[in-house]
Amino acid sequence: MSDRLHTLSGYLYEYQKSVSQPEEFWARIADSFFWRKRWNKTLDWNFEKPDVKWFVNGKLNITENIFERQLFTHANQAAIIWEPNDPEEATRTLTYRELYKEVNRFANALKSKGIQKGDRVIIYMPMVPEAAVAMLACARIGAIHSVVFAGFSASALADRIQDCKAKAVLTSDGNFRGNKKIPVKAVVDEALEKVSVETVIVYQRTQQEVTMKAGRDFWWHDVVANESTENKAEEMDSEDMLFILYTSGSTGKPKGVVHTTGGYMVYTKYSFENVFQYSPGDIYWCTADIGWITGHSYIVYGPLLAGATTLMFEGVPTYPNPGRFWQIVEKHKVNQFYTAPTAIRALQAFGTEPVEGYDLSSLKVLGSVGEPINEEAWHWYHTHIGKGHCPIVDTWWQTETGGIMVSPLAGITPTKPAYATLPLPGIQLCIVDADGKELTGNGVEGNLCIKFPWPSMIRTTYGDHERCRNTYFSTYKGMYFTGDGVKRDHDGYYRILGRVDDVINVSGHRMGTAEVENAINEHPLVIESAVVGYPHEVKGQGIYAYVICDMKNRTEENLVNEIKDTVSKIIGPIAKPDKIQIVPGLPKTRSGKIMRRILRKVAEGITENMGDTSTLLDPEVVNQIIQGRK
């Protein structure tokens, strides 16, 4: 059953209802799911603690809502179409029935390895259907999955294993990415020198050589060999944890964002159907990696809950050539295509020639996610990919929000380049000034907050509830603070302006400045560092690092490369600074605080009008920094 809206007036009506009677509104949407036991209170909330519960005391299993609920109608329809890295290799298709059996089989295998409801399981896998099987099998037995993007380093993986005290790691031998074969199991081995888990299950993808530790490491094909394809789903409470996903913030190590079962299920399906206007039979493709929230909500859970066919791509946009995305669109007759501005800009740089040979007439909807989309990229996407007739849904949301919060509904909400437009039903936005005063009316700009709970919102940060309160619910009393700046224009449309905290958005991936600084500081010759973001043509933002170091007898070039390697090793290649400037000192106030405002300006290329620098301990350092600018 679909709760799809079809008209602008329908949207406006529903939005009104969702605000005036939120509980009735969400109860109606939730009623179309399969509950073992219906909830007895739709919402319980307190944003001070915070403590938010949706569909209180409801009992369900999210996979029963993907499979059993719709198997009768969808059994032979493709659930996942998988397109490999190498276009010469065969596509794989799993129907709902086949996926169901694989999930059950693997769920049984996990149980045989002693994994139980509530246990944490790390998934560190490439983009293969088994990664989705792994997530769903965990959900089936009530184990809490935590997917770690397979590009993260051993040390980042070890931190996550330790933080959630995982019992098992699900991984692969290797990963095909473009013309590279990446050792995945070897990274897991390195992580497991520092922390330990009971079980490692290895899916064979690249056939490369790996070491298997007896009694701990098992092949995926061996553990499923004798398992039944039937499995009775574990009964979960609405508020039982479904997964943990680590994300960066402005301070400290990445935190484990916790999502729970009932609300996440209801919101991801509802938002998927409405934003993308998915119709039965459509082929939907989201190019994200399952290691990010986009992959969780809009490759796996949302589409599968909606009975959609979701395409999963193993490779990269430019391999074997920059026409790869469009070749896949043509090959599978993709109807909805969802990607990130950074990918659009990267492909735009190759011109229109790689696009021209392909038939893109199947496309109906284009999506954008992860960072603000600049007008130029928006127009290129609209003209050359959508041929002027596909609405672009610029979807604003976050790991913490679980689902899309502000976005046009495709073909329904009139779009405006670079605007995420209007909130989805149930989403009560609020713009506040620096003092937390709500800015009402149109034509205002400030910080974006949300003043009422929505079903898929963050419940806690794993193992540290105070951190959740402090990060999201303490800046502005009684509200969830997003960390983004926003403008509401004269039409009441929202435009996201980017982070207002110390978070950098590199190619749609969140990096904490403190996290990158800590990694840089691991280099033995580094004394101190300060990291800021700066505008980058393709990545949206690049990472600019100012580093004070003891040069010993290194050349600057050697040292810069060593520092980049250190960051790669501690976090992963995605966190490597684009520019590193060795500086004699940092602009600090007398109280020892780094004046980042100045560093941001210099990184942007602004060298004049530095503002008030009178509180600096040594104002001369600013000139030295300007002179050495990269």
Which residues contact ligand WT7 (rule: CB under 6 A)? Answer: 247, 292-294, 368-372, 394-399, 420, 482-484, 496, 498-499, 505, 508, 510
Minimal distance in Å, beta carbon 456 to ligand WT7? 12
How far does CA 218 lie from the centroid of its chain?
Answer: 29
**Pick 499 or 539: Cβ nearer ligand WT7:** 499
Closest of 436, 455, 454 to residue 446, by C-alpha? 436
**Pick 169 or 420: Cβ nearer ligand WT7:** 420
**Pick 220 or 301: Cβ nearer ligand WT7:** 301
**Pick 217 or 289: Cβ nearer ligand WT7:** 289
Minimal distance in Å, beta carbon 250 to ligand WT7? 11
**Pick 315 or 540: Cβ nearer ligand WT7:** 540
Minimal distance in Å, beta carbon 441 to ligand WT7? 23
Confirm if 551 and 129 have CB atoms less than 8 A apart: no
**Residues near 306 by beta carbon (within 8 Å), at least 6 away in sequence:** 2, 269, 272, 273, 278
Tell me the two tokens of residue 110: 């996990």
How far does CA 521 lie from the centroid of its chain?
Answer: 27
**Pick 32 or 374: Cβ nearer ligand WT7:** 374
Burial zone of 88 (CB within 10 Å; 0-12 exposed, 13-18 middle, 19+ buried): exposed
Dist. CA 493–CA 487, nearest whole Å: 8
- Residue whose C-beta lies closest to ligand WT7: 399
Minimal distance in Å, beta carbon 247 to ligand WT7? 5
Dist. CA 259–CA 232, nearest whole Å: 23
Minimal distance in Å, beta carbon 509 to ligand WT7? 6
Confirm if 509 and 574 have CB atoms less than 8 A apart: yes
Dist. CA 291–CA 581, nearest whole Å: 31
C-beta pairs of 28-35 under 8 Å, 24+ apart in sequence: 29/3, 29/266, 29/270, 30/55, 30/58, 30/262, 30/266, 30/455, 32/1, 32/3, 33/60, 33/65, 33/69, 33/265, 33/266, 33/269, 34/60, 34/64, 34/65, 34/68, 34/69, 35/59, 35/60
**Pick 173 or 502: Cβ nearer ligand WT7:** 502
Minimal distance in Å, beta carbon 130 to ligand WT7? 23
**Residues near 33 by beta carbon (within 8 Å), at least 6 away in sequence:** 60, 65, 69, 265, 266, 269
Minimal distance in Å, beta carbon 372 to ligand WT7? 4
Question: What is 176-211 written as a DSSP string?
Answer: EETTEEEESHHHHHHHTTTS--SEEEEE-SS-----
Minimal distance in Å, beta carbon 459 to ligand WT7? 16
Minimal distance in Å, beta carbon 396 to ligand WT7? 4
Any idea what DSSP says for residue 100? H
Farthest CA pair distance, the chain: 73
Minimal distance in Å, beta carbon 246 to ligand WT7? 10
**Pick 499 or 523: Cβ nearer ligand WT7:** 499
**Pick 205 or 499: Cβ nearer ligand WT7:** 499
Q: What is the CA radius of gyration of the chain?
A: 24
**Pick 153 or 395: Cβ nearer ligand WT7:** 395
How far does CA 411 lie from the centroid of its chain?
Answer: 25
Tell me the two tokens of residue 363: 């496309």
Minimal distance in Å, beta carbon 66 to ligand WT7? 21
**Pick 124 or 396: Cβ nearer ligand WT7:** 396
133 membership: H or E segment, kind and range: helix 129-141
Confirm if 521 and 528 have CB atoms less than 8 A apart: yes
